[in-house]
Amino acid sequence: MRNIKMIIQYDGTKYNGWQRLGDTDKTIQGKLEQVLTRMSGTNTEVIGSGRTDAGVHAIHQVANFFTEDARTEEEIQAYLNQYLPDDIAVKQVTEVHARFHSRLNAVSKTYMYRIWNLPYSEPFIRKYSLHIPEPYLKVRAMRKAAGYLIGKNDFTSFVSRASKKKSNIRTITDIGFEKKEGLVEIRIIGDGFLYNMIRIIVGTLLEVGLGKMEPEKAAEILESHDRQMAGPTAPPHGLFLLDVKYPEDDETIAEASQ
Amino acid sequence: MRNIKMIIQYDGTKYNGWQRLGDTDKTIQGKLEQVLTRMSGTNTEVIGSGRTDAGVHAIHQVANFFTEDARTEEEIQAYLNQYLPDDIAVKQVTEVHARFHSRLNAVSKTYMYRIWNLPYSEPFIRKYSLHIPEPYLKVRAMRKAAGYLIGKNDFTSFVSRASKKKSNIRTITDIGFEKKEGLVEIRIIGDGFLYNMIRIIVGTLLEVGLGKMEPEKAAEILESHDRQMAGPTAPPHGLFLLDVKYPEDDETIAEASQ
């Protein structure tokens, strides 16, 4: 069996998230499996690096699948892009070694959350950002609050109760802020994220940015292991999966193995 | 009467263009007039710098209206943004001198046309760019062809027959190209443009970019004064009105008048 890795981009607006459920038509995974099954003539399962929630977008999602199909990488990519709807794009297709697993091998993920922070709406990114008309967010205070979350921590306070993971310990390596004109971008990098974790972190940072919460409260929330202490879950349409990294992406390793 | 100038941004996807027709609900001008008439309690006409076609977008459109309403600039802007749909935004409201006229006083306009030139679609700009999957556009040849159109010329070859303007002489001061990854942006600056002129110019440059036409043919088309010679009208969804300039925007003049 060949193992094929894909880099995928999607506008999540119309979808019930990544993970296939009953109705394959409304999930990204379902759409991909439909086209690949049709291409190869046999049921094909797609393994994603992780789920994205309903309405969440991806600039760079990674997934792989196993196939006996003889098409070249370019032909597989062309087939996918021909039959996928135009809000899902396959940017790259590469044949990888048999042991590559999109989810298990991922070493870090980067998410971006976008906030449009001016009184008027921004027509071109209104579907791809959270609009906070006023007040101006206190970005410096948000940055300070974010500092308390960086590191290896038990993020129980920032997980939706629906989460069934055994451990809530994760490592956040960076939370960065960029402000350009009316746009505030938050980038969160970590080794993995729990259910709704990014959106609850953003919702909490927004409480700080809106002046409803002191930055120091973030440390207290983290220690409490109590979801009730944190802010609300920020809406999905401002969230993008921006990058997924694997050990083989590291050039040093790639060179060493040659 | 106060004369109020607005800078407006809109996603033209859902609209029948700028100019009010019968059904005010489906034009940008109609939407603005509806809200302003409601605000001031009296029929208010909005004067735009020029029309944009159905489906064309604007990053910076300029319009003005006369009113007896006593609201401040900030209050007018807030009222408009509260009641306009979220695909139309008023970025700035300024009270100007009584003689200011958005259309008659405009000295130059900049339009941008965006082309996404990779085999796969780009989910986030698919509604705001023309997708040409292949071949890669010959941008150098397009640039050469564009060079023949710069200057004061009779653009009869680049006007839809529906145009009723008396003179087809216009001045194009620049046609610039920018290529970043899969995106090709064409910026056209001129003193004014005829009906469909930008889209026919782009349609012609695309023939050159696709290798269907030699760059030198652009000179021949211009001289022919024959619409049949030029390329097809490029679709509207890749086109943006990017800027409209007035003499008072010139800082030298503004300073001199103080």
What pTM was computed for the model?
Answer: 0.89
Q: What is the dihedral of CA A128, A132, A136, A139, to 10 degrees?
A: -50
pLDDT band at B163 (very low <50, low <70, confident <90, very high): low
Nearest to B86 among A57, A87, A121 (CB): A121
Residue B21 is predicted with a pLDDT of 81
Using the predicted structure, report yes or no on whether residue A25 has a pLDDT greater than 90: no
Nearest to A123 among B89, B121, B122 (CB): B89
Q: B183 touching A, CB under 8 A? A: no
Name which of A82, A79, A29, A16 is nearest B121 in CA terms.
Answer: A82
Question: Domain segments of chain B: what residues?
Answer: 2-96, 108-245
Name which of B31, B12, B11 is nearest B21 in CA terms.
Answer: B31
Kindly determine whether residue A87 and residue B126, on different chains, have CB atoms separated by under 8 Å.
Answer: yes
Best probe of the A interface among B6, B57, B124, B130, by most A CBs < 10 A, is B124
C-alpha span between A132 and A1 (Å, rounded): 50
Residue A166 is predicted with a pLDDT of 79
Say if CB A141 and CB A209 are below 8 A apart. Answer: yes
Q: What is the topology classification, in CATH, of domain A108-245?
A: Alpha-Beta Plaits (3.30.70)
Q: How far out from the chain centre does Cα B52 lie?
A: 6
And the tokens for A93? 């297709």
Kindly determine whether residue B123 and residue A90, on different chains, have CB atoms separated by under 8 Å.
Answer: no
Q: What are phi and psi of A87, to 5 degrees?
A: -95, 5
Which residue pairs, CB below 8 angstroms and at least 24 apart, start in B18-25?
B18/B48, B18/B50, B18/B51, B18/B52, B18/B61, B19/B48, B19/B51
C-alpha span between B141 and A20 (Å, rounded): 47
CA angle B244, B247, B252 (to 5 degrees): 125
What integer best gives the mean pLDDT of chain B? 93
And the tokens for B108? 């130059």
Kindly determine whether residue B119 and residue A87, on different chains, have CB atoms separated by under 8 Å.
Answer: no
Using the predicted structure, report yes or no on whether residue A190 has a pLDDT greater than 80: yes
Using the predicted structure, report yes or no on whether residue B231 has a pLDDT greater than 60: yes
Residue A252 is predicted with a pLDDT of 45
Beta strands in B80-157 (DSSP E): 88-96, 108-116, 130-131, 151-154
CA closest to A87 among chain B residues: B123
Residue B162 is predicted with a pLDDT of 63
And the tokens for B243? 């800027």
Kindly determine whether residue A89 and residue B122, on different chains, have CB atoms separated by under 8 Å.
Answer: yes
Residues 6+ apart with CB under 8 A from B180: none
What integer best gives the mean pLDDT of chain A? 93
> B170 by DSSP, 3-state: which?
strand
Which listed residue (A11, A23, A53, A226) is catalytic?
A53
Say if CB B114 and CB B252 are below 8 A apart. Answer: no
Say if CB A90 and CB A84 are below 8 A apart. Answer: yes
Residues 6+ apart with CB under 8 A from A250: none
Q: A257 touching B, CB under 8 A? A: no
CB contact residues (below 8 A), chain B span 3-32, against chain A: 9-11
Give me the amino acid identity at A106. Answer: A
C-alpha span between A53 and A235 (Å, rounded): 10
Q: A181 touching B, CB under 8 A? A: no
Residue B24 is predicted with a pLDDT of 62
Nearest to A89 among B57, B86, B123 (CB): B123
Q: Is B87 a catalytic residue?
A: no
Residue A36 is predicted with a pLDDT of 97
Residue A254 is predicted with a pLDDT of 44
pLDDT band at A189 (very low <50, low <70, confident <90, very high): very high
Share of chain A above pLDDT 70, in %: 94
CB atoms within 10 A of CB A14: 12
pLDDT tens digits, one per residue of A48-60: 999 999 999 999 9
Say if CB A59 and CB A113 are below 8 A apart. Answer: no
Residue A22 is predicted with a pLDDT of 74
Reported ipTM? 0.84
CB contact residues (below 8 A), chain A span 33-92, against chain B: 57, 77-78, 81, 86-91
pLDDT tens digits, one per residue of B51-90: 999 999 999 999 999 999 999 999 999 999 999 999 999 9
Using the predicted structure, report yes or no on whether residue B219 has a pLDDT greater than 60: yes
Look at the block and give the residue holding tokens 């032909």. A75
Using the predicted structure, report yes or no on whether residue B165 has a pLDDT greater than 80: no
And the tokens for A147? 């500092």
The dihedral sign for the CA sequence B143, B145, B137, B57: positive
CB atoms within 10 A of CB B47: 17
C-alpha span between A185 and B126 (Å, rounded): 22
Which segment of A157-171, A218-232, B125-139, B148-162 scores lowest on mean pLDDT? A157-171
The DSSP call for residue B221 is H
Give the residue-averaged pLDDT of A108-137: 96
One of 3.30.70.580, 3.30.420.40, 3.90.800.10, 3.40.50.2300 is the CATH number of A2-96, namely 3.30.70.580
Burial grade of A92 (CB within 10 A; 0-12, 13-18, 19 or more): middle
Which segment of A161-165, A175-179, A211-215, B178-182 scores lowest on mean pLDDT? A161-165
